[in-house]
Structure formats: structure tokens, C-alpha cells
Chains A and B, each alone.
Chain A
Amino acid sequence: MFSVIVRYCRHYLHREYGYKRFFITIFGFALGLNIVVLSGSIDMLFAGWEIIGVSSFLLIAFYRHRVQPVRNALRAYTVYRFCDIGLLLGAWMSHLLFHESDHFSQLAVLFKDNSTSPASLAALWLMSVLIFTAACGKSAQFPFCFWLPRAMEGPTPSSAIFYGALSVHLGVFLLLRTTPIWSYHLVTQASLFSIGLLTVVIASMAEKTQSNIKGQVAYASITQVGLMFMELALGLENLVLLHFLGNAFLRCYQLLVSPSIVAHMLRIEGAIDTDNSLALPAMRKRLPVSIRDTLPGVLQNTLYVFALQEGNLELIVRAVFWSPLKRFGAGFNALTTRYRLSLVMLLILPWPLLVQLGWASSAIYAIPAVVIMVLASLSAFSQKQFLWTWHAVALSSLSAAFAVWLLQPGVLVDVLLFLSGIVPSWLIGYWLLLRLPNPENYRDAPFAYRALAEIRPVRAFGLLVSFLGLAGFPITPAFIGEDLLLYHASHQFAWIAGLIAVSFVLNGIAIARVYLRVCMGKPLEISGIRSQAIG
């Protein structure tokens, strides 16, 4: 499939700006995919998963002069990153529950004997929820269906290989790999079936109202993956593999021929007065135009609006997951420095008092560091200024490392390993952000795109590497460090591991936004801002 895509791209992207960038990113995707397919444990799978996520993010924002692809890249990355909580905590839980037996090859053996479970039912249920979250995000299943049609803003060949053929099926792949964990109980199987069913209902309706061919193919693909989820819940593993193969090839083909189909339809539209028209298949002539036509008028309209709004899933996800965090962060950012410090002190001071009174162990000293970590992440998540966001993310990571060191002073080496990836990325990124052209204009228009990738491509690449390093992407030791921090934090307080994972996710989204704002856009926009400032 890669060779087909590469061959197609030679013509499709001929004389296109960013030809080399496209090929490098698509090979990055191939690397991530091969790691995922051949991974022997959840940790390895997570490394490949992250590489695929970032390749996808870069390819959606391939046409970086246009605002919409850049916005949609952030939208897709936000869902990816949010669902990474599932895999990040899933990897941590697999270490915790199965110890040295967290390899995929040993999972089935562990669960073979039905009389003795390797973990408690509650732990398995929690792990199943985490796996489902990761799978739903990657495969655009309920309630995350909305991002896939938006991700089609990238070049058609990348859409074909990512969202038609391979990437969209990775959620199914994860579920197949972890079948012994989530299939242990009927409730988790029923939950998976429900997710698949809801996706099929919403996506098949939304598909009918899509105004572009790629959106239709995207929703058709989501529907098929929803059916695969249902098949998996029913234990039809071999059928899923067959379905998976068929859907991958069909959607890839459909997306690759979609430009030709659009051109053909336009030609027919242009030749409306001639005999050149589309003939309906004989079978279709015998069927009613649509089932919708048999429904009462009010229901027809309701369903039409529901399908047009794609079930309002994006609004719901935003209202439930993002808005509360953003509101809290914005409220914190709106405080003056004195009030901010007072609030931090108020949250920090009671804990040492508890130790002095003998009501808690000295490990509780880590809680103030965790409070700072959470506040810094929330502040970065809702912040508009680049430098503030960059420092807040670094502060959050440093606080996480400090908290784990306070919890377990014996793991200093592991904490330093994490910091060896974070600190250089932070400092290099800070140095690059200080050297942005015309920094005086940035305060006035924090939401404008700065087009650094056009003006200073080498610096933009440096900022990309810093962003990936600070986000714990598998190019620095911080990637292993993240896993280690979660592993050590959970020995004292498991909930701290959860907060650290959430902070990492928020940090990743916050600095991805900084990267997009600084590096994407048209140079023309910058000159516009400059002339406004002069005027």
C-alpha cells in the first residue's frame, strides 16, 4: 500500500510546495506503524502510537498557508493526545498488574485459567476503560467521531493511508491485542458493543449529509470500524480480521480515486444539456429513494438536522472535557501575581502541617509539588502568550519529577533520566522563541500565525524538535521517563499517577498550539500585523 501511495504521490504532489516534507512525514508514519504492528508490549505500542499521532498532525497541517487545515490538525491532535491518557495509564497499569508478564504473548496465558484472575475485577474494568478510550480516539469511535472528516484536510494520499486504510484501524488492532483484558467480563464486552452500535447509528446518518466526497468516505470508514467493534464484542475475531482487510483496501482505493470522481462529476454537470449523464443502476430504480422518505415529515427534518450536526458530538466533548479545564485555567491566569501566589501558598501550606501533627507520612510533601504541576498545566492549557505557555509546561514537568522524587527519594536516577529529555528541550525552545522575528507584535495579536516555517525553516525545525522533546515524544529519554514517573508515583498514591498523566496530556496540547501558532501561516499575515502595528 505504501508503494501505491508513493507512486500516486509522485504525480499528485508534482511541483507542490513541501514535496520533500511530505515524503519524510509519510516515512515517519511507516516507522510508527511498523513499531505498532510488531510491538511486543504496551510500552512499545505506545512509542509507535505517538509517532503515528505526530505524523498525522503534521500531515493534516501540510497546507500550512491555510487556516482550516492547521486548526483541524490541532483538533485531531487534541483528541489523539486526550486518548493517550488511556494508553499511558494502560501501560502503567500493565506494569503494575502483570509485572514482567505484560508482554502480549503472555497476556493470553495469564487469563487462560478462568478460575484465577491475574488482577481484581475493578482493576481489569479500569484497564478496559483506558483501552477503550485509546481505541475510540484513534479509530474515531463514539464520542470522538467528529475529528476524522476534519482530518481529511491533508493531501489525499495521506488521507487514504491514514484515515482510509491503516491508522483508523489501529483502535481495532489495540483491542485485538488486548482481548484477554477487556473480554474477561460481560459488562466490558457489552460496553464495547454499545460504543460500536452508537457509532454505526451516528456515523451512517452523518455520512448522508456530508457535502464532500472525503467526508463521506471518512464517515463510511467510521461506520465500518464501528461494526468491527461490535464483531469484536461478540468474539468474532477472525471475521474482524477479514473485515479489517476489506475495509482498508476499499477505503484506500475510494480516497485515491476521489479526485477523479469529483472531476468526472463536474464534467457531467458541465454537460447537462447533452446526453452525457449518470445512469442509475437497475437495482436502485426498483428501491425507494431513501428509507427517510417513508418517515413522517417532522422526524425526517429532525434526523436531517441531527445528521447535519453530526450528533453534536464535538460540542458535547468540548463541553464535558475541555471547557471546565479551560475555564479553571483562564480563571487562574486572570488573577494578579499576588493572588496567584496566595492561592498556591494556601494549597501548599496545610500539607507540611499534617506531617508535623503526625497525621500523615513525609511522602505527603509531594502533594504541594503535584498542586503546582496541575496549576501550571491548566495555566498553560488556557494561556495565549507563547513564552508563558512554554515555561508553564516546563514548570509542570519539573514539578512532576520533583513530586516523584519526594515520594521515592531512591529513584533519583529515573527522575534525572526524565529531566535529561525535558530540560534541554525547554531551554532550546525558549532560546528559539526569544529569537522570533518582530516579537514586539506578538502581545497584540497572540492568535495570529507567525509563519516561522516559511521565514526561518531551520529554527522552525528546532522548535518542532523542542516541542516533541517537551511533550515526551519518543525522541528523548523523557519518553521512558514518563512511564517511570507513573510507575514510581503509583507505589505511594495511585491518584498522583493519574494527575501526572492528565498533566502530560494537557502540556502536549498546550505546546502543540504554540508550535502551530509560531510556525504555520502565511508570511503575508505577518506583514499585515506589522503594518497594523506601524499604523
Chain B
Amino acid sequence: MNALLISCQLLPLVGILLITLFGSDEHKIARLSFWVTHAMGLAIACLLGIWAWQGFPAYEFEWFTLYEHGNYRLPVLFYLDKIGATLFICDLGGVFRDSALLPTLFA
């Protein structure tokens, strides 16, 4: 679950990097965007699936401390509960609506 939380953050960054480096024409940009958005959708679907499997808990994960000095501490902290999951479902809805993905997944 922790790995999925991190991958949900990193995949858009990967998308930005790939398009910046390799997006020389429309076809490449469209292809890269297609795969990154679907990888993101898959990561979110797995995350929500595991979260549901564990009984919909309010899940917290501290990745690392970004900065600490004296009493001040800034951790990179993730939190998933039903509120966050609702917003994620909006993201996910499109993956299932996009009929082109299904033959690709089950090919």
C-alpha cells in the first residue's frame, strides 16, 4: 500500500519528464500520456482495492522527514480515508469509461 501511495505521486512526475524528454511529436505525446494516465489509473485502482480489502481504514504513512530543526518538523505524510478515496474515484471513473483500455489490458 505504501508503494502504491508513493507511485500515485511519482507517476504524474514521470509523465512530465517523459513528455519533456521524448515528446517530439503529437503521436508520441499522445501515446506517452495514454500509458502514464492508465498506469496512474491502475495504481489508484489497486490502492483503493487494497484499502477496501483492509476494511476502509483511515491509513497514514510517513515517507520521510523533509526538514527538521528544533521544534519544527515537516514530514512527507500521506493519508487515505473515505474523503480522499471519493476524490480518487473521480480520477478512476474515466479508466473504466475509456473502453479502449479494456482490450489493451486483457489482450
Contacts and interface: CB of A to CB of B under 8 A. Distances in A.
Contact of A103 (B9, B60, B94): B60
A31 B93 contact: no
Contact of B34 (A3, A95, A100): A3
Given A23-B19, A166-B90, A3 B95 contact: yes
A358 B48 CA distance: 63
A23 B12 contact: no
Interface string A411-427: 10110010000000000
Given A19-B26, A40-B79, 7 more contacts: A3-B37, A19-B29, A30-B15, A31-B13, A33-B87, A37-B88, A95-B72
Contacts of A6: 30, 33-34, 37
A166 B79 contact: no
Interface in B19-72: 19-20, 23, 26, 29-30, 33-34, 36-38, 40-41, 58, 60-62, 66-67, 69-72
7 contacts: A33-B87, A37-B87, A38-B84, A105-B60, A105-B79, A173-B83, A245-B86
State the 6 A-B residue pairs at the shortest beta-carbon distance, nearest first: A40-B77, A40-B79, A31-B12, A4-B94, A1-B94, A30-B12
Contacts of B82: 241
Contacts of A10: 26, 30, 33
A120 B89 CA distance: 37
B95 to A, nearest CB: 5
Interface of B: 5, 8-9, 12-13, 15-16, 19-20, 23, 26, 29-30, 33-34, 36-38, 40-41, 58, 60-62, 66-67, 69-80, 82-84, 86-95, 97-98, 100-101
Contacts of B77: 39-41, 44, 103
Nearest to B6: A38
B25 to A, nearest CB: 9
Nearest to A13: B26
Contacts of A20: 19, 23, 29
A3 B23 CA distance: 18
Contacts of B38: 3
B79 A104 contact: yes
B69 A28 contact: no
| Overall SS of chain A's interface | helix
Contacts of B67: 417, 480, 484
Contacts of B98: 3-4, 7
Contacts of A103: 60, 77, 79
B8 A2 contact: no
Interface string A31-67: 1011101111101100000000000000000000000
A7 B29 CA distance: 11
A184 interface: no
A4 B97 contact: yes
Given A2-B37, A23-B29, A28-B12, A37 B94 contact: no
A434 B88 CA distance: 45
Given A2-B37, A3-B37, A24-B20, A34 B86 contact: no
Nearest to B95: A3
A483 B15 contact: no
B86 A44 contact: no
A4 B75 CA distance: 34
Interface string A8-19: 011000110001
A27 B19 contact: yes
A24 B94 contact: no
A249 B72 contact: no
A464 to B, nearest CB: 14
Contacts of A105: 58, 60, 79
Point out which of B36, B71, B93 has the most chain A C-beta atoms below 10 A from its C-beta: B93
Interface in A461-488: 480, 483-484, 487
Contacts of A480: 66-67, 74
A393 B81 CA distance: 40
Interface in A69-104: 95, 99-100, 103-104
Given A2-B41, A3-B98, A480-B74, A413 B79 contact: no
A413 to B, nearest CB: 6
A100 B58 CA distance: 18
B82 to A, nearest CB: 7
A480 B76 CA distance: 12
Contacts of A249: 90, 93
A1 B16 contact: no
Point out which of B9, B30, B90, B101 has the most chain A C-beta atoms below 10 A from its C-beta: B90
Contacts of B41: 2-3
Interface in A405-443: 411, 413-414, 417
Contacts of A173: 83, 87
A24 B72 contact: no
A522 interface: no
B66 A27 contact: no
A34 B79 contact: no
A151 to B, nearest CB: 19
A413 B69 CA distance: 9
A431 B65 CA distance: 34
Contact of A3 (B69, B73, B101): B101
B8 A176 contact: no
Given A6-B34, A30-B12, A40-B78, A14 B26 contact: yes
A392 interface: no
Point out which of B13, B29, B100 has the most chain A C-beta atoms below 10 A from its C-beta: B29
Nearest to B90: A248
A483 B73 CA distance: 11
Contacts of A394: none
